[in-house]
Chain A
Amino acid sequence: MDLFEYQAKRLFGAHGIPVKLGEVARTPDEARAAAERIGCPVVVKAQVLTGGRGKAGGVKLAATPDEAAEKARAILGLDIKGHTVKLVLVDPAVDIATEIYVAITLDRAARRALIMASAEGGMDIEQVAVEKPDAIVRVHIDPAVGLQPYQLRQLAFGIGLPAAHHAAFADLVTRLHNVFEAADATLAEVNPLILTTTGEMLALDGKVTVDASALYRQSALAADRYDGDLTDAERAARDAGLNYVDLDGSIGCLVNGAGLAMASMDVIKLFGGEPANFLDIGGGAQADKVEKALRIILADTRVKAVLINIFGGITRGDEVARGIVAALGNIATDVPFVVRIVGTNAEAAQTILADAKLHSGATLAEAAQKAVQLAAERGAA
């Protein structure tokens, strides 16, 4: 779960990291009022859960409250990499002398938290990693002993920070690590971390990703969860307890298990089709869940054919078959279904589906080819 910049900086502030956090505005008028309260100049910043805001025109300086309103009007509604801007943050402007990068992330391969720092602040760190790999200083944290003072020194000296700022930097990184731990974060990034012209250290921008599996113990963050980037289908699927991702193709997919669901999409693509979605109904799904899943798939008018691929283990083939029959009885549709059910209770499933007008395939490849062909016959691009 990604946090907006304003949420990340609020979290930073709560952990004692120096931030100058302004106010969030949903309209140009709110932005003007915020600028009046904060005092100009201000920076109006798009709040979207993606990077590259600056290049997309989502960050603008305003010298007066009226100008703040005008900039907010220009930014609100912008589309930045598929994310519509619905919120702006109005922050006090600061005079930047130096920009630094610091982040704590999960290093999956090392099974440890990794702190990365670079003097090349403000830049896209992935670009720095490619162009100047030596400009990034890395330290791993041993979970048994935690972050150590020598590691903070390695970072500070490693990025060539003047000695006068070492204490403030060590304090900030320690607090950022506290955020990483306390918020069950998989990323806590400050980019840029700045030194102002008066020598003050500030977290100017923040990015935090919280582990979705830990939301049960992060109730405050979970309550603030933003789902405005989800499609209606994705929201309905989430409410039904289904793992679903919207895609642009014409073949709806219903599969049990994430790996098999991805593989089924890949096979569709291999035979010249395009999947309309990723859908994992999970283990042990009952008939009603299957019916709900089919409702979500069929609500997408781009879907020209449906591929159902079930390998029964915990999931029982007969339950899935009952769900298909219920869906066909309750939803008016002429979209053809290709159904392949193997494994637990597959024979019972065949009996239940005997009278339904369905297509089938013995193997996944055969079933996917059939679905691609049916979709093409019905005018899929």
Chain B
Amino acid sequence: MSIYVDASSRVLVQGITGREGAFHTGHMVKSGTNVVAGVTPGKGGQALEGDLAGVPMFNTVRDAVKATGADVSCIFVPAKFAADAVLEAADAGIAVIVTITEGVPVHDMIRVTNSVRSRGITMIGPNCPGMITPGGAKVGIIPANICTPGPVGVVSRSGTLTYEVLHALTSRGIGQTTAVGIGGDPVQGTKFVDVLARFQADPATELIVMIGEIGGTDEEAAAAFVAANVTKPVVGFIAGQTAPPGKTMGHAGAIISGGKGTAAEKIRALQAAGIAVARHPDEIAEIVAGQLGR
């Protein structure tokens, strides 16, 4: 089992002809993902080449959904077009929208996340690596070769830090149900609590790894949610213990402002909820192995 996407997902890519879009869609296809359509306005009907050969192209998401039954979209369009792309996918009936694009204005995301969530649509991102259900589907840019099917659900605000953890788990022979990167922006389509609820409900997920970072209060909300609703073991990590206040640490959302959003506060909240918090990334896989009795 898995959450959000699996081998039956019919994936569409918006911005498939861009440099990033073409490169990563190629990897999605190579890892066995069912990529059924590409959308680039003005390039409908064009033939794609290489790894993307045979993927039909459309001018609009509506046309693509009508012709292919796509139900998941992966968005690689430039930041200034990202809000429009998400709304187009939502309007066309896409159920799961994954936005990889970084640098999307936060006001755009206030409008878009409120709109799509009110319609019951799942939106992941923006500024995220997407997600992967090993052996099922990869929607985004998480390298498939560091993942393997198994019992651990992973949710994270980070990209490469997640890859570290996936690699360490896989190296120990511990596989994953699904790994979800929810992104490093201040306003995200999906938060920790949404993903935790899915993992709790997924019978195949035995343990959950949650990787947070400084900024905002989503980790605190997640800790409260875990205490009240999650019966599965959760292993946590918070990045940014050495980050100075008032400085944006790469991710737009990773900033301690007004004394709020520190790593220490978040670690305290996780521990108070009974979550085992790793001191460094390598320790996450060690704790998981111990808890799973490996």
- A266 partner, pick from B160, B241, B247, beta carbons under 8 A: B241
The answer to whether A143 touches B111, judged by C-beta atoms less than 8 angstroms apart, is yes
Return chain A residues, CB-CB under 8 Å to B184: 258-259
The answer to whether B280 touches A257, judged by C-beta atoms less than 8 angstroms apart, is no
A247 touching B244 in the complex, CB below 8 Å, given contacts A111-B187, A143-B114, A343-B146: yes
CA distance A14 to B197 in the complex (A): 47
Identify the closest chain A residue to B185 (Cβ).
A213
- B242 partner, pick from A213, A243, A247, A280, beta carbons under 8 A: A247
Chain B 80-120 per-residue mask, 1 if CB under 8 angstroms from chain A, else 0: 10000000000000000000000111110111011101100
The answer to whether A259 touches B160, judged by C-beta atoms less than 8 angstroms apart, is yes
Q: Kindly specify which of A92-100, A267-275, A287-295, A324-332 makes contact with the partner chain.
A: A267-275
The answer to whether A213 touches B79, judged by C-beta atoms less than 8 angstroms apart, is yes
The answer to whether B79 touches A259, judged by C-beta atoms less than 8 angstroms apart, is no
A269 touching B250 in the complex, CB below 8 Å, given contacts A211-B105, A217-B105, A363-B282: no
Identify the closest chain B residue to A181 (Cβ).
B107
Identify the closest chain A residue to B160 (Cβ).
A257
Chain B 227-264 interface residues, beta-carbon cutoff 8 Å to A: 237, 239-244, 247-254, 258-259, 263
* A55 contacts the other chain (CB 8 A): no
CA distance A268 to B240 in the complex (A): 12
CA distance A259 to B249 in the complex (A): 8
CA distance A126 to B259 in the complex (A): 9
CA distance A186 to B186 in the complex (A): 10
* B159 contacts the other chain (CB 8 A): yes
A258 touching B163 in the complex, CB below 8 Å, given contacts A109-B216, A216-B80, A247-B242: no
* A364 contacts the other chain (CB 8 A): yes
- A262 partner, pick from B107, B163, B242, beta carbons under 8 A: B242
A259 touching B280 in the complex, CB below 8 Å, given contacts A106-B106, A126-B259: no
Return chain A residues, CB-CB under 8 Å to B33: none
- B252 partner, pick from A213, A217, A256, A280, beta carbons under 8 A: A213
CA distance A156 to B221 in the complex (A): 31
The answer to whether A269 touches B159, judged by C-beta atoms less than 8 angstroms apart, is no
* B162 contacts the other chain (CB 8 A): yes
* B156 contacts the other chain (CB 8 A): yes
The answer to whether A269 touches B158, judged by C-beta atoms less than 8 angstroms apart, is no
* B172 contacts the other chain (CB 8 A): no
* A225 contacts the other chain (CB 8 A): no
Name, among B141, B237, B258, the residue most crowded by chain A CB atoms within 10 Å (CB to CB).
B258
CA distance A37 to B114 in the complex (A): 50
- CB B291 to nearest CB in A, in angstroms, measures 19
The answer to whether A214 touches B164, judged by C-beta atoms less than 8 angstroms apart, is no
CA distance A14 to B209 in the complex (A): 49
- B239 partner, pick from A262, A343, A368, beta carbons under 8 A: A262
The answer to whether A113 touches B110, judged by C-beta atoms less than 8 angstroms apart, is yes
* B135 contacts the other chain (CB 8 A): no
The answer to whether B241 touches A111, judged by C-beta atoms less than 8 angstroms apart, is no
Identify the closest chain A residue to B19 (Cβ).
A284
How many residues of chain B get a CB closer than 8 Å to chain A's CBs? 64
* B167 contacts the other chain (CB 8 A): yes
Identify the closest chain A residue to B216 (Cβ).
A108
* A200 contacts the other chain (CB 8 A): no
The answer to whether B114 touches A144, judged by C-beta atoms less than 8 angstroms apart, is yes
Return chain A residues, CB-CB under 8 Å to B249: 243, 245, 258, 261-262, 278
The answer to whether B281 touches A267, judged by C-beta atoms less than 8 angstroms apart, is yes
CA distance A258 to B184 in the complex (A): 9
A261 touching B113 in the complex, CB below 8 Å, given contacts A106-B186, A106-B187, A213-B105: no
CA distance A213 to B253 in the complex (A): 11
The answer to whether A269 touches B241, judged by C-beta atoms less than 8 angstroms apart, is yes
The answer to whether B107 touches A184, judged by C-beta atoms less than 8 angstroms apart, is yes
- B167 partner, pick from A106, A111, A275, A343, beta carbons under 8 A: A343
A270 touching B106 in the complex, CB below 8 Å, given contacts A142-B114, A213-B79, A343-B167: no
CA distance A280 to B248 in the complex (A): 12
Chain B 204-225 interface residues, beta-carbon cutoff 8 Å to A: 211, 213-214, 216-218, 221
* B138 contacts the other chain (CB 8 A): no
The answer to whether A313 touches B241, judged by C-beta atoms less than 8 angstroms apart, is no
A214 touching B107 in the complex, CB below 8 Å, given contacts A106-B187, A269-B241: yes
* A342 contacts the other chain (CB 8 A): yes
The answer to whether B186 touches A258, judged by C-beta atoms less than 8 angstroms apart, is no
The answer to whether B160 touches A213, judged by C-beta atoms less than 8 angstroms apart, is no
Chain A 197-223 per-residue mask, 1 if CB under 8 angstroms from chain B, else 0: 000000000000001111011000000
Return chain B residues, CB-CB under 8 Å to A243: 249-250
- CB B11 to nearest CB in A, in angstroms, measures 19
Chain B 166-213 interface residues, beta-carbon cutoff 8 Å to A: 167, 184, 186-187, 211, 213
CA distance A329 to B162 in the complex (A): 33
A313 touching B163 in the complex, CB below 8 Å, given contacts A126-B258, A184-B107, A213-B106: yes
A278 touching B106 in the complex, CB below 8 Å, given contacts A106-B187, A258-B254, A259-B159: no
- B243 partner, pick from A126, A142, A265, A313, beta carbons under 8 A: A265
Return chain B residues, CB-CB under 8 Å to A274: 242
Return chain A residues, CB-CB under 8 Å to B258: 126
CA distance A73 to B182 in the complex (A): 50
CA distance A184 to B110 in the complex (A): 11
Q: CB within 8 Å of B: which residues of A?
A: 106, 108-109, 111-113, 126, 142-144, 181, 184, 186, 211-214, 216-217, 243, 245, 247, 255-263, 265-270, 274-275, 278, 280, 283, 311, 313-315, 342-344, 363-365, 368
- CB pairs A–B below 8 angstroms (10 shown): A106-B186, A111-B114, A184-B107, A212-B248, A259-B160, A259-B239, A260-B281, A263-B161, A275-B242, A315-B160
Q: CB within 8 Å of A: which residues of B?
A: 23, 79-80, 103-107, 109-111, 113-115, 117-118, 129, 141-143, 146, 156-164, 167, 184, 186-187, 211, 213-214, 216-218, 221, 237, 239-244, 247-254, 258-259, 263, 279-283
